[in-house]
Amino acid sequence: MAQHRKSSGRKYGRKASDKVGRAMHEMKRGELKSGRSGKKVTSKKQAIAIGLNEARERGAKVPRRAKKSTRKSSTKKSRASH
């Protein structure tokens, strides 16, 4: 008897896909600028991040941002062993 897996659905919504596509298009044309400095964005990863962030602001289905890991605990351990 075969077991069927339940699909969890899409990870990213259609609106998120549209925003990322628009950001990539702007980046390729040299029109996409970063938020703070206003410099031109040249990296694909940065363009994707900007698109996802815009989608997130507008309430699209996008997973939460990954939390930045702090390295304080690992440095304390390594210093204690010396």
47 domain residue, yes or no: yes
72 domain residue, yes or no: no
Counting residues of the chain whose pLDDT is more than 90, the rounded percentage is 33
68 domain residue, yes or no: no
User: pLDDT value at position 47?
Assistant: 93
63 domain residue, yes or no: no
Cα angle vertex 38, ends 35, 39, to 5°?
120
User: pLDDT value at position 64?
Assistant: 83
Number of domains present in the structure of the chain = 1
Domain of 44 in residue numbering reads as 14-57
Quickly state the pLDDT bin for 9 (edges 50, 70, 90). Answer: confident
Amino acid letter, residue 78: S
5 domain residue, yes or no: no
Q: Are 48 and 55 in contact (CB under 8 A)?
A: no
Rounded-to-10 torsion of CA 48, 51, 54, 60: -100
User: pLDDT value at position 6?
Assistant: 66
20 domain residue, yes or no: yes
